[in-house]
Amino acid sequence: MKLVRFGEPGSEKPGIVDAEGKIRDLSGIVPDISGAVLGRASLAKLQSLDTASLPLAPDGARLGACVGRVGNFIAVGLNYADHAAESGMAVPSEPVLFNKAPSCVVGPDDTVLIPRGSEKTDWEVELAVVIGERASYVSEAEALDYVAGYCVCNDVSERAYQLERGGQWTKGKGCPTFGPLGPWLVTADEVDTGDLAMKLSVNGELVQNGSTKTMVFNVPFLVHYISQFMALEPGDVITTGTPPGVGMGMKPPRYLKPGDTMEVSIAGLGTQRQTVAAG
């Protein structure tokens, strides 16, 4: 099942993608794709719907982030050994965690804004995990029971803020528009995260071409691990790291500039397309 949110920023409606790839309006069924709607019982009810009986979304409607009212937006750093190598950093013995600001969440095709004065804004294709049930001290074996589904995330990053401003990664990760999510939230029953192709192109040039199979820490372990430090709530998002090919790792480094375009995709989870502009 593919769930979406469509409409103008701040006024998105919940939707579901039908068998023909059309978006159907769920606003008469649920208030949003967020919170308790992401729980197992609620998702089971949505899966049982006759989608053909639901009204169609307007043609050409903007897609918002596929999950609304994100609470915790947790990111995992250096979770691909080859990305750690291109960053000149050691593969961590435990997951590196940091936060992206929930206010950075935008739709999959929304404009990405370069922060004022930034010269090192970078890209990162990532698999994002959306929590469906409250998770606290969960075991690795049970971790996937707490996952509602998965989506594409572009973990946009300002490298000077991240690495040159006192060691706080969060500074370079939560600027406005730095968290495109979507196009769809694909429910967990349809996704095997063990080997998903991940790609990101800048101005038509393929720069990232990897797979989730090279993750250092896999999804069940990450959900288990993070739940030892905080209670994860329905609608929380975990973005799980990026394969190599980021601008910072190029020789010489290459960063985004106004007018650039990005295409970001993960097999089975859809494609994002963003234009870059000055903030």
Q: How many Å apart are CA 77 and CA 94, to the nearest integer?
A: 10
In this prediction, residue 10 carries a pLDDT of 95
User: Are the beta carbons of 156 and 262 closer than 8 angstroms?
Assistant: no
Report the sign of the C-alpha dihedral through residues 56, 59, 64, 65, in that order.
positive
In this prediction, residue 115 carries a pLDDT of 97
Kindly list the strands in the beta sheet with 2-6, ordered across the sheet, starting from the edge strand earlier in the chain: 23-25, 13-17, 2-6, 185-187, 147-154, 125-131, 237-239, 73-77, 96-99
In this prediction, residue 276 carries a pLDDT of 98
User: What are 92's two structure tokens?
Assistant: 């961590």
In this prediction, residue 168 carries a pLDDT of 76
Q: How many Å apart are CA 151 and CA 94, to the nearest integer?
A: 24
In this prediction, residue 240 carries a pLDDT of 98
Looking at residue 91, its amino acid is V
Using DSSP, state whether 122 is helix, strand or coil: strand
What is the pTM assigned to this prediction?
A: 0.96
User: Are the beta carbons of 100 and 181 closer than 8 angstroms?
Assistant: no
pLDDT average per 10 residues of sequence, the chain (279 residues): 98 97 97 98 97 96 98 95 77 93 98 96 98 98 98 97 87 97 98 98 98 96 98 98 95 97 98 97
Q: How many Å apart are CA 124 and CA 200, to the nearest integer?
A: 8
Q: In the chain, which residues fall in CATH 3.90.850.10? A: 73-278
Q: Class for domain 73-278, per CATH? A: alpha beta
In sequence order, the β-bridge partners of residue 158 are 121
Phi, psi (deg, nearest 5) at residue 174: -115, 20
